[in-house]
Amino acid sequence: MPADPHTDPEAVSAPTPSRAPSRDPSRDPWATLRATTSARIGLGRIGDAMALGDVLAFQSAHALARDAVHAVLDTTALASRIEGDVITVRSEAPDRQTYLRRPDQGRRLHPECEAALPRGDYDAVIVIADGLSATAVATHAIPMLEVLRARLPMLRLAPVVIATQARVAIGDDIGERLGARLCAIMIGERPGLSVADSLGIYLTYAPHRGCRDSARNCISNIHTKGGLSYAAAADTLAWLMREALHRRLTGVNLKEETGTLLSSGV
């Protein structure tokens, strides 16, 4: 006998989206449209209220999003899974609460970390940053990195850099200090109520402090719940990196021309 969510404490305290009641397609005119999107559409009502299953599913998704924002990235565990040299740095934001209130501090490398980034002759540096979803980074950064590295045998790569309390622009500081011609920063994207663990990648040519966002290319929505696959993202990024080095630019003047995103259905 199924648990009664009105009387069973476990049923109320541990809701998941999958526990929302299924609807008979023959009696639900929204069923066909709902099957094409993760958006909450045509939820319906029971009396004056939403169905309890839909309410619990929404609360569960909201809790996952909040957890992702406040989660702490385990840099030791992450570094242990990366082949080769790894450098760990942090931004000027001293803690998570400050990071969320002061985006500007998350964009700047902490001065104490500058000496950890020796200048070299590198085509590119790959930075892994917690961003707004450490959950996304812990889940997707390693498999994404492995797939990407296999597509870049011709490039001289700097040691992988892990950055905490970090936003996209911290890659400018890191790339400039290492002397890398390109910076590709993998970062946890802002969680939504459909996916809390989506990864994004920003690519910048000639990274330097003060670089404009219009000078970056972005690949977003990388996850395993209907998002962009690791392989498709790596194909696109590898193409962008090769073209960026050849044309000496990134951003609005470098358009993705491989067709990978369209062919992947995203």
Binding site for adenosylcob(III)alamin, by residue number, is 168, 189, 218
3-state DSSP helix/strand/coil % of the chain, to nearest 5? 40, 20, 40
Nearest of 186, 146, 139 to residue 162 by alpha carbon:
186
**Residue 31 dihedral angles phi and psi, to the nearest 5°:** -60, -45
> 19: which DSSP letter?
G
Tokens for 122, please give them: 């590198």
Q: Which pair of structure tokens corresponds to residue 176?
A: 């400039």
Q: Is 181 helix (H, G, I), strand (E, B) or coil?
A: strand
Question: What is the Cα 83 distance to its own chain's centre?
Answer: 21
Judge contact between 82 and 141, C-beta under 8 A. no
DSSP string over 28-73: -TTHHHHTT-SS------BTTB--HHHHHHHHHHHHHHHHHHHPPP
Q: What is the DSSP letter of 190?
A: P
Binding residues: 168, 189, 218
- Indicate the DSSP class of residue 248: T
